Amino acid sequence: MSTSTLSRPRTGTRITPRGSLALRLGDRYSVLVRPRTLIVALFLIVVATAALVVSVSVGDYEIPLGAVPAAIAGYGERLDVFFVQGVRLPRALTALGVGAALGLAGAVFQSLSRNALGSPDIIGFTSGAATGAVAIILLVGGGRLVVSMGAIAGGLITAVVVYLLAMKNGVQGYRLVLVGIGVSAMLGAVRDYLLTRAELTDAMGAQIWMIGSLNGRGWGEVIAVWLSLALLGPILLTLGSRLRFMELGDDTARALGVSTQATQVAALIAASALTGAAIAVSGPIGFVALAAPQLARRLTRTGGTTFVGAALMGAALLVVADLVALRALAPTQLPVGVVTAVIGGGYLIWLLYTEWRRGRA
């Protein structure tokens, strides 16, 4: 979905040569909508909603699917209302918010690097946020708010360091990925050192947090992640058109009037802060930011990055993975980070294999 200025001042719709539907908004603006993109977006919304309803109903205390809407609204059996509103709905809404945040941030990083591997997981921003949070847990202590601030600060500091090290006549995708991998390895060593110097109980708590989990998440986490999306999401979506121009090359983007360096810095800071906010709520859940943008791009068959599609794909992926962690793989609950690591690791192997085959062709 993109916006553009059209020269003919009339209201209506028409089919563009590429098959997109142009919805005119007044005399100056229009919105270009690809029917396939709209269908994929609606499909992902349906999948995420269905997974949310099922995840709210399953557990040691089963709730019939037909009773879920009433329990969400606060009616029905007292135990139904308690488990839905107090335990399961906050967890499911947190999964949706964290997945959307990671999917959107991953799309921004892949657009900036022009590389399918340019996600926060690979280029170090997730590792930076995790290191900041672990340092707070082991050295300072404090509640979730303090840990959240540490994760956001760690992600932003890592973003600045990687950007400065990768910047030479502009940020090139391969250089950003390589520098990010090196910084991520160094941060991993810092976390390991902190864990070896910590008390056993503190180290165990930090290690559990680093797996990535949605267990025990409440309305505070729901508010935190959705507030971050509400504040940072519009900024990234506003930068979306400039980022798509930059995917054509910096020279082309400058010729079209895009300030490439300012756009890079603004997008990097906003996406890093969004990544840090998501990780602060759930821990470093891996591979959602890597897989969601690419899967959305393949489903919509768009030439560039689709930011709304990536956010919807990330939300659907994480709520489905959390449902699998709740029910399908073990009699006890698994951390959702384990499930996403299995899914995302398989996707990464497939992605590398297809790129290798393309290079051999």
Extract the tokens encoding 22: 């142009």
Count of residues in the chain: 361
pLDDT band at 329 (very low <50, low <70, confident <90, very high): low
Identify the sign of the CA torsion 353, 354, 359, 361: positive
pLDDT tens, residue by residue, 83-131: 888 888 899 999 999 999 999 999 998 888 877 777 787 777 788 888 8
* Domains and their CATH numbers in the chain: 1-33 (no CATH), 34-360 (1.10.3470.10)
Burial of residue 4, with CB atoms counted within 10 A of its CB: 0-12 exposed, 13-18 middle, 19 or more buried = exposed
pLDDT of res. 215 = 82
For the chain, how long is the longest CA-to-CA vector?
Answer: 69
> Which region holds residue 98: left if phi is over 0, alpha if psi is between -120 and 50, else beta?
alpha
pLDDT of res. 357 = 74
Provide the 3-class DSSP secondary structure of residue 305.
coil
Extract the tokens encoding 217: 């998440």
For residue 149, pLDDT over 90 is answered with: no
Extract the tokens encoding 12: 């209506």
pLDDT tens, residue by residue, 347-359: 778 777 776 777 6
Bridge-partner residues for 14, per DSSP?
A: 22
Quote the radius of gyration of the chain (alpha carbons, Å). Answer: 21
| 8 Å CB contact between 51 and 316 | yes
**Helices and strands in the chain, H and E counts:** 16, 4
| 8 Å CB contact between 340 and 137 | no
| 8 Å CB contact between 129 and 103 | no
pLDDT tens, residue by residue, 32-56: 667 778 888 899 999 999 999 888 8
pLDDT tens, residue by residue, 274-309: 988 888 888 888 888 888 888 888 888 876 678 888
